[in-house]
Structure formats: C-alpha cells, structure tokens
C-alpha cells in the first residue's frame, strides 16, 4: 500500500509539473518578468472593477512570492508617478525585495505580527485590502477548510478595523463548509459583494474571489 501511495503521489506531482509549465499564464508571467501567474488573476479583477486609484494605500496579505504586490506597484506607478501611494505586503514566507513594496515577514495569526503591520500604517486607513492567503493543504477537507476559513476571518477582521469607509476588500476563498456564512457576513459589511472566478484560476480549483466594495460605516 505504501509503495502504491508513493507512486500515486509521484504521478500526481509529474502531472502538476507538466500542467504548470504548459500553462499559458505561467509562460506569460515569465515573459513579462512577473513573479507569479497569480498576477493575472488580480489584473483581471482589478481592471474589470477599476480597483486601483492614484495614491492608494494597499495591504497585500499572503503576498509571497510577490505577484500581486509587484503588479499593484507597477500599476500605481503607471497611474500617477507623482502619487505612488503605498504597497505593504505580509507573508509567513520570505519574499525577495520588490522596489517600492514594504514587506513584513511573519505569521498573520500572531498578535505581534499584526501589531507590527498596524504600526507600519501609523494610524492611517487602508484603501484596499488584498488577501490571497491559504493554509498548507493536508488534502483532508475537514482539516483544510477550517484552516482556510480561519485565515479568511482574520483578514475580514483586519479590514473591519483598518479599511476606510468606502474601501474595498478582495479575498480568495475556497468553496465548502463556512463559505456561504462568510459571504453573508461580507454582505453585512459592504454595499456590493461579488464572487468571481478569473480566467487565470484553474478550473478544477475550488478557489474563488470575493470582491467586497463600499465598506459601510457600521455592520448591518
């Protein structure tokens, strides 16, 4: 049994690698010097809803390897070089430096790391909170979904306290237990909530993105 299981994992890894390197978005990211194919997920979502404005303060949770932060930084510079705004990225993993991106290395689940992020904001509100956070997967839904939802709850709580009224929250979610309740909570907090599946998100993946716009002054 152990040998077959190991062989199965090996075949699965080989299939993933083959799919990954033949993926048009991977090739496009490499051609354009982007760190991750995930940049194209954000690009589609941001351009469709015009999420970025000159001078914005953007917080990118779960930022490594930096694809989202890199794209946001480039786009803000393109929109108005005179008003570059700020891009603050955080991840439990190390991330190679990106020009114009402030990176905090640490576990978002820890109070000390959250305090460091809050200190870097200096009491100023955030215009856009991005969260592409995901837990390490065990392959067991009963374990993985609660972990993913816990991270999603922390991200929502951060947006509750630091996103400006009228601001936008974009978060990756996984469909499963707790998903519907989470979306309902978003609708209590934001004027408009939409669930999106960008083209760069692999079809078989249970991931979707919740785009919550127009943060309310008070939760309904």
Q: Are 90 and 131 in contact (CB under 8 A)?
A: no
- The response to whether 191 counts as a known ligand-binding position is no
Structure tokens at 49: 């809803």
- The response to whether 157 counts as a known ligand-binding position is no
Query: Whole-angstrom Cα distance, residue 186 to residue 188?
Result: 5
H/E stretch holding 86: strand 86-91
* Residues β-bridged to residue 195: 210
Place of tokens 């690009």: 43
* The Cα angle at residue 60 between residues 86 and 167, in degrees rounded to 5: 75
- The response to whether 127 counts as a known ligand-binding position is no
By C-alpha distance, which of 85, 94, 29 is closest to 58?
85
Q: Are 69 and 60 in contact (CB under 8 A)?
A: yes
**72: number of CA atoms within 13 Å, CB side?**
32
Q: At what angle do helices 38-49 and 24-31 cross, to 10 degrees?
A: 90
Q: Is 215 a catalytic residue?
A: no
- The response to whether 111 counts as a known ligand-binding position is no
Say which of 28, 124, 172, 197 is annotated catalytic.
Answer: 172
**Interstrand relation of 207-215 and 190-196 (parallel, antiparallel or unpaired):** antiparallel
For the chain, the domains span 1-33, 36-215
One digit per residue, the tens of pLDDT, for the chain of length 220 reads 333 444 545 555 555 445 545 666 566 656 666 657 788 899 999 999 999 999 999 999 999 999 999 999 999 999 999 999 999 999 999 999 999 999 999 999 999 999 999 999 999 999 999 999 998 887 788 889 999 999 999 999 999 999 999 999 999 999 999 999 999 999 999 999 999 999 888 777 889 999 999 999 999 9
Query: Whole-angstrom Cα distance, residue 153 to residue 125?
Result: 19
Query: Whole-angstrom Cα distance, residue 66 to residue 96?
Result: 8
* pLDDT at site 153: 97
The pTM assigned to this predicted structure is 0.85
- The response to whether 66 counts as a known ligand-binding position is yes
CATH topology of domain 36-215: Rossmann fold (3.40.50)
Report phi then psi at 125, rounded to 5. Answer: -75, 160
* pLDDT at site 17: 47
């Amino acid at each position: 049994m152990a040998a077959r299981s190991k062989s199965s994992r090996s075949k699965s890894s080989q299939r993933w690698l083959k799919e990954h390197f033949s993926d048009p978005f991977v090739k496009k990211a490499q051609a354009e010097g982007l760190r991750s194919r995930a940049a194209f997920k954000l690009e589609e979502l941001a351009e469709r809803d015009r999420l970025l404005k000159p001078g914005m303060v953007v917080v990118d949770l779960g930022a490594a390897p930096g694809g989202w932060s890199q794209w946001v930084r480039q786009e803000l510079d393109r929109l108005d070089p005179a008003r570059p705004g700020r891009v603050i990225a955080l991840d439990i993993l190390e991330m190679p430096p990106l020009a114009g991106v402030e990176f905090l290395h640490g576990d978002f689940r820890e109070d000390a790391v959250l305090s460091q992020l809050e200190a870097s904001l200096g009491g100023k509100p955030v215009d856009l909170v991005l969260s592409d956070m995901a837990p390490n997967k065990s392959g067991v839904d009963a374990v993985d979904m609660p972990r993913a939802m816990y991270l999603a709850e922390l991200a929502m709580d951060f947006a509750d306290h630091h996103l400006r009224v009228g601001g936008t929250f974009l978060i990756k979610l996984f469909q499963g237990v707790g998903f519907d309740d989470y979306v309902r909570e978003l609708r209590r907090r934001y004027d408009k909530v939409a669930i999106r599946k960008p083209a760069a998100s692999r079809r078989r993946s249970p991931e979707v993105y919740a785009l919550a716009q127009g943060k309310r002054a008070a939760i309904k």
